[in-house]
Structure 1
Amino acid sequence: MTATPLPGAAGSDDEPWLDDDAGRLVRPYTVSEGRTRPSAQLDLLTMVLATGERPDGYLGPEHTQVLRLCERPVSVAEIAAVIRQPAAVTKVVLSDLLDCGAVTTRGPIHLQEGPDPTDREVLEAVLDGLRSRL
C-alpha cells in the first residue's frame, strides 16, 4: 500500500492523500465534520469568489484548496470536481468560508423580463434554430 498526494499538491502538507488501492484516505464526512447541511443556500451554478479575508483559526486543507480556487469566480460544481468531493460536502466547506467572510457568492441570474425560458414556444423556436444550423 502506497500513499501519494493528489496531483497539484507539490509537496503541500495541506492536500488530501490517496492510497493507490483504496483511493482517498480521508472520507467525505470527515471533511465536513459529519455535517450534511450547509448554512448557506447554494446550488451547483452559484459563483464563488474569494474576498481576500483570511479565516480566523484553522479550517482544514479542503478550505485552503477552495480559497486558492476562488481567486477567480468559479462555480460550486467546478469546485466540487477539483477537490474531488460530493456537492453536499463542498457546499458545507463553502458555507464555512462564507460564514467567516473569506468568500462571497452570487447565485445564478434569472431573467426578470422577457419570455419564460421554460415556455414551450420559446423552446421550440430554439430547437428549430438549432436544426436549421445543422
Structure 2
Amino acid sequence: MTAPQDGPWLDDAAGRLVRPYTVSGGRTRPTARFDLLSQVMVTGKPAPPHLGPEHGQALALCGVPASVAEVAAQLRLPAVVTKVLLSDLVDCGALIEKPPDSYHNPTDRSLLEAVLDGLRRRL
C-alpha cells in the first residue's frame, strides 16, 4: 500500500482506498453544466489551497483542452465526480469550459460509421 504523501491512496489488491464521492465532498451535482464532450482548459489562475489533490490532478490534465470524459478517464473517477471537481475549478476561475460544438452531432450515422471504420482498420 502506498503512503498518502506518495500519491493517490491505492492498494494493489483493493484499488482506490478513498471512495469517489469522498473526493467530491459527497456532492453529486456540479454547479456548472458539463457534457461529457465539453472541453475544459486552464486559465492560468491557480486553484485555491483548500481544494483537494484530485483538483490539482484535474488542473494538470487541462493544460491543453481536454474533454470531461478524458479527464474522468485519466483520474479514474466516475464522470459525475469529475464534473463536480471541474465545476469547483470553473467556479474559482482556474478553468474555463467550452460546450461541445453544436455542429457535431454525436449520433450522426456517417460520423459513427467513420469511427467504426477507423476502429476496424486499427484492429
Q: Superposition pairs for residues 77-88 of structure 1, below 5 Å?
A: 77-88=69-80
Bigger share in helix: 2
Q: Which has the larger radius of gyration?
A: 1
CA apart distance, 1:20: 1.7
Identity %: 57
Deviations 1:66-97 (A, max 9, x none): 11111100000000000000000000000100
1:107 aligned to 2:105? no
User: What is the aligned counterpart of 2:14 among 16, 22, 30?
Assistant: 22
Runs (5+) with no aligned partner, structure 1: 6-11
2:30 is the counterpart of 1:32: no
Q: In the alignment, which residue of structure 2 is the partner of 1:48? A: 40
Give 3-state SS (helix, strand or coil) of 1:110's partner.
coil
Task: Rate the CA distance shift 1:111–1:76 in 2: closer, same or farther, 3 A.
Answer: same
- Alpha-carbon shift at residue 28 of structure 1 (Å): 0.5
Contact 1:50 1:104 in 2 (8 A): yes
Cα 1:93–1:123, aligned 2, differ >3 Å: closer, same or farther?
Answer: closer
Any conservation in 2 of the 1:15–1:62 contact (CA below 8 Å)? no
TM-score where L is the length of structure 1: 0.74
1:57 has 2:49 as partner = yes
Partner of 2:121: none
Q: Is the 8 A contact 1:49 1:104 kept in 2?
A: yes
Equivalent position SS for 1:105: strand
1:4 aligns with 2
TM-score, length of structure 2 as denominator length:
0.81
Structure 2 unaligned residues grouped into runs of 5+: 118-123
What's the RMSD between the two structures over aligned residues? 2.8
Quote how far apart the aligned CAs of 1:19 are.
Answer: 1.0
